[in-house]
Structure 1
């Protein structure tokens, strides 16, 4: 039985090379990582398939499309790059 079909992974930059990440439903406190991609790789390996199948990834007020948990680890660099590009585009348009 799957408890949550979709979870939200929220990432916040807290310093140079320091990103705080938290996943909804995770009983543990937020974790610090050295990059956005590291956050995604970590949750890609830690979220059990019976807990959730998909994630919405949020960073600096922007969100990517719903992504399969199974894709987080192998696509971590690509997804992180897309988040950074999305934020840059939002700031350029402002």
Structure 2
């Protein structure tokens, strides 16, 4: 009989992992906030993680979110859209120092 090498056991995941667009940290889906784009092309915060279409994630840290909202190039690439508008509500929520 031939001896076979034991296969290493796969580590169990605690849930789906997502990557923060700003800092590239991999975290559990529930530890990140989700952004989605409406049919009108407006970027909104998806609090319920239920809006249709493509989603993008960022850390709950306000620094990551502010970095993402300032550099919209990553958002354009993530959503595969060039005509993306960031809602004023998002800017008001995550505005720094005000």
TM-score for both structures, normalised by structure 2: 0.28
Q: Which has the higher contact order (CA 8 A, sep 6+)?
A: 1
Larger strand share, 1 or 2? 1
Larger helix share, 1 or 2? 1
